[in-house]
Amino acid sequence: IQFGGHGYSHILTNVLPRMLTRGFTNQDIHCLTTENPKNWLNWKCV
């Protein structure tokens, strides 16, 4: 661990596989890692 954390690769190599073993589906992970950020980044001020 350098510079205060594990880095972004930690999520892909450790967290997501653990989520699969805990019952998350591939669709759940896709939603969390792709759809939610995409929707957040497309948010427009009204």
Residue 24 lies in a domain: yes
Residue 30 in any domain: the answer is yes
Quote the pTM value: 0.70
Judged against a pLDDT cut of 80, whether residue 1 lies above it is answered with: no
| pLDDT at residue 44, rounded to an integer | 72
How many structural domains compose the chain? 1
Q: What is the DSSP letter of 44?
A: -
Domain carrying residue 31: 9-41
* Cβ contact 32:12 at 8 Å: no
| Residue 4 covered by a domain | no
Question: Does residue 27 form part of some domain?
Answer: yes
At residue 39, φ and ψ (nearest 5 deg) are -65, -40
pLDDT tens, position by position, 2-46:
677 888 899 999 999 999 999 999 999 999 999 999 988 887 766
